[in-house]
Structure 1
């Protein structure tokens, strides 16, 4: 296993590279909690560095929750890191606030932190919330959380920044409201929430840890959904959850994405997959080790798993080993 901590569970993560080292930002919570389900209430963001995506040096916590009344008062969750034109690094992360100690009810909001070295981060004022014109919020009383998390930042060819998020539509049937949330910005500081990039009814109660990346000149959307959060026909057919991939014709986000056509890349023994580019230019998937054969949570991040495009046009694991 590529990255683990003996005293902490490790799960969702994201990646950055400064041209010298790879930086792995990861969620972690102490195993002294005993119940792995409690990790979500106690998540902190840590960072580790590597020269080969396999051997990691841990640097500990880089971002923690704010005060009790802040949008990130309970925990800091998944995000992404991009570099602005002035060279500064911007981390967009999920802040969550649980409303009580005995329920899973929580409100998720996106915050931003800035760094010059990818290690020391300073939180910025302001945050971004789900817009009730298009997105389900806690006030609708239709879901146990206000889903607005896992921000992934993508810059299109015109220079416009897009934020893709785990969200739920205000419309749709019951559980089957999972959509890709969307916001845009010209400067990484001021964001405008847009309508969803996908339609409800695709068979997912949520689409988590979204990533849009171009592999060998072909864009692909990656996301994860576990078995418990499949919906509609997928649920009825007994489909198992995992990591999903949707090849795209373009990375220009000017039309709805057909997430119902996504193809499963892994089962849910791996989760929250991220495609990363190695030092040799190959593409590989990192994912966290989710559950064992008995369904017990494991925690820890895999070594790179080589990726390639299959003859049928789907993203798949390569048969040859990849070099970092």
Structure 2
């Protein structure tokens, strides 16, 4: 695989290309923890650069957890990066606070860091975007162990308005159906308004993770990831499984037509332009013998047929 340090697990990541350099930011945790399930509460954000998406130079951690009482007191989780009109880079990322060492209960908040060079990042501790209880489930509203409000994906529409897609859960419906695409908007990247979700709590996902909005071959779509434990039995009975997913996004996000792009081996996938062709980067979740592997794969060609995406043999670019 392309980015597989021997001393750390790497999993969720986000990407930005500036000039001829690809910048990858990713969650990482030391393998000295022994149990990969402990990685979530020990995550920092690493940074690497590449010109070919295969050979990476690591630059160390760029974000670490904050002090007690901060929104990222336990760990720094998945985010995305955009550039403001004044040239400032904005990283919106997830701050996680676990309530105790012996529980999985945690509260997730969207927070922000800024940079002028994509290498040195300064947190903005005054920025905290939280789930709005008018539409979204918060901790204690159900038996779900977390206040799901994470993985911000930020993009700008044709009118200049910024949008944020957020992993969230609705405050109504069956638990297995409550996974929704949360939504917020901003005119300036600084002031955000939380809005109702873009999807309804009826699609057979307890949550949908790691969004990416994109258009390929004229087809708008959304990428996300989900694993077996959060997919309804009805969906699994039709072959749905752990992996990276794609769904059309025409007038609305069509989760009824969401399908697996990958199987369980590749999770949190992102599609990136590589010399004019779409390729998939993802982290290796499992290899059939290890329940968790970690590490970013080499770019995989994405086949596009009338807006439908497939991975032909998951063949890697030479």
Shorter-chain TM-score: what band?
A: over 0.9
Contact 1:137 1:146 in 2 (8 A): yes
State yes or no: 1:277 paired with 2:284. Answer: no
* Superposition deviation, residue 232 in structure 1: 4.8
* Greater CA drift, 231-240 or 63-72: 231-240
Match of 2:34 in 1: 34
2:142 & 2:70 partners in 1: Cα distance? 22
- Contact 1:203–1:260 (Cα < 8 Å) also in 2: no
Deviations 1:207-238 (A, max 9, x none): 00010012233322000001111125114556
SS at match of 1:303: coil
Instruction: Name the residue aligned to 1:252.
Output: none
What is the aligned-residue RMSD (CA, Å)? 1.7
Superposition deviation, residue 126 in structure 1: 1.6
Distance 2:316 2:267 in 1: 20
1:203 paired with 2:204, answer yes
State how far apart, in whole Å, the 1-side matches of 2:41 and 2:91 are: 20
Counterpart CA distance in 1 for 2:313 and 2:133 is 46
* Match in the other structure for 1:234: 235
Quote the residue 2:134 is aligned against. Answer: 133
Structure 2 unaligned regions, length at least 5: none
Residue equivalent to 2:223: 222
Q: Is the 8 A contact 1:225 1:242 kept in 2?
A: yes
**For residue 314 of structure 1, what is the aligned residue in structure 2?**
308
Deviation of 1:260 after TM superposition, in Å, equals 2.4
Instruction: Please say if residues 263 and 314 of structure 1, whose CA atoms lie closer than 8 Å, have aligned partners that are also in contact.
Output: no
Q: Distance in 1 between matches of 2:80 and 2:13?
A: 8
* 1:73 to 1:191, Cα distance in 2 relative to 1, 3 A: same
Corresponding residue for 1:178? 179
2:16 matches 1:21? no
Name 1:301's counterpart in structure 2.
296
Question: C-alpha distance in 2, partners of 1:156/1:169?
Answer: 25
Deviations, residues 142-173 of structure 1 (Å, cap 9, x unaligned)? 31100000000011111110000100000111
- Matching residue of 2:66: 66
Match of 1:261 in 2: 257
Q: What is the rounded CA distance, in whole Å, between the counterparts of 1:323 and 1:157 in structure 2? A: 33
**Residues 163 and 320 (structure 1), Cα distance of their counterparts in 2 relative to 1, 3 Å cut:** closer
Separation (CA, whole Å) in 1 of partners of 2:249 and 2:13? 24
Cα distance in 2 for residues equivalent to 1:59 and 1:275:
23
Are the structure 2 counterparts of residues 122 and 290 from structure 1 closer, same or farther at C-alpha, using a change threshold of 3 Å?
Answer: same
Match of 2:92 in 1: 92
- 2-structure distance, mates of 1:20, 1:126: 31
The number of residue pairs the alignment matches comes to 317
| TM, length-normalised to structure 1 | 0.94
Query: Quick one: distance in 2 between partners of 1:146 and 1:320?
Result: 35
1:141–1:323 CA distance, 2 compared to 1 (3 A): closer
Residue aligning to 1:158:
159
Residues 247 and 315, structure 1, Cα contact 8 Å, conserved in 2: no
69-78 vs 257-266, greater mean Cα deviation: 257-266
1:87 Cα offset (Å) = 1.0
Measure the CA separation in 2 of the matches of 1:142 and 1:191: 29
